[in-house]
Amino acid sequence: MSKNSIGLVAHFVAGYPSLEASFEVAMGLVAGGATALEMQIPYSDPSADGPVIEKACAQSLAGGFRVDEAFALAKRITEATDVPLFVMSYAGLVYARGITRFTQDAAQAGVMGLIVPDLVPGADEGFFAAAAAAGCPGVPVLVTDVSEQRLQEILHEPAQWLYVALRRGVTGAYTELDEAQKKFLGALRQREGERHQVMAGFGIREYSQVQILEGLVDAVVAGTALVSSVAAHPGEERMAAQNAAAHILGQK
């Protein structure tokens, strides 16, 4: 555990900058204090990601990365560390493999939960039910201006974790929290704290942002800032990932 009462879900792209290096990145993130990992399986059209992550995904795919390798990598990571691993990808890949098979492969690799932003409750092709049945529940994404009715629909799905997107749009840009968002997170924790854990992300780069979220969520998600750091240090990915994670946790 980190010295904070708030966890860090550290994102990385499978196969970036190479299959082996992405394993090193995962280990570096853990060494830097990550309390959970979020491994993105690269997709050709990642429409909820910003340019940094999209570029990393494209590079991974250009290197010939396959979905089978992602599950093998997940297994290797979950065997190497006790830090829980989430897998993030897009409907295109989940649907192509078969919803059931995808969730079962993830569960067998020791994955704790699945984040698929374009399979939302009500239009999920049975994803949330299949994922829960496989023992690897889906993690629904919430926006902070969600209506009460929609929130009820989302909370109706079997899930352990909720992912709150702290800004509209895509990953990458710096987010400043406003009062309405803080209020939403506080209320969500009060009503759901018993049943769900909450991770919040989109635009987390600095320890100051983490501090604001302390007490409001169980963990922050950082992605773009970490991927940028890995990209900037070719050949030293493990150390770069470790330093970047520690930086966000205010330990460096």
> Catalytic residue positions?
38, 49
What the block records as the tokens of 78 is 């979950």
Q: Does 129 bind another protein (CB under 8 A)?
A: no
Indicate which single residue of 125, 176, 178, 214 sits in contact with another protein (rule: CB under 8 A): 125
212: exposed, middle or buried (Cβ count in 10 Å: 0-12, 13-18, 19+):
middle
Which amino acid is present at 237?
E
60: left (phi over 0), alpha (psi -120 to 50) or beta: alpha
Q: How far is the CB of 42 from another protein (least distance, A)?
A: 8
Q: Is the dihedral of CA 106, 138, 200, 53 positive or negative?
A: positive
Report, in Å, the least distance between residue 146 CB and another protein: 7
Q: Is 119 in the site for another protein (CB under 8 A)?
A: yes
Q: Is 176 exposed, middle or buried (0-12, 13-18, 19+ CB in 10 A)?
A: exposed
Residues 166-185 that bind another protein (CB under 8 A): 167-170
Q: Which of 95, 192, 206, 239 binds another protein (CB under 8 A)?
A: 95
Interface of this chain with another protein, residues 190 to 249, rule: CB under 8 A: none
Phi, psi of 129 (to 5 degrees): -65, -45
Give the residue with the Cβ less far from another protein, 58 or 212. 58
Which of 31, 48, 107, 239 binds another protein (CB under 8 A)? It is 48
What is the rounded CA–CA span in Å between residue 6 and residue 239? Answer: 23
| 64 scored as a contact of another protein (CB under 8 A) | no
For another protein, the binding residues (CB under 8 A) are 43-48, 50-51, 54-55, 58, 61, 66-67, 91-97, 117-120, 123, 125, 140-143, 145-146, 150, 154, 165, 167-170
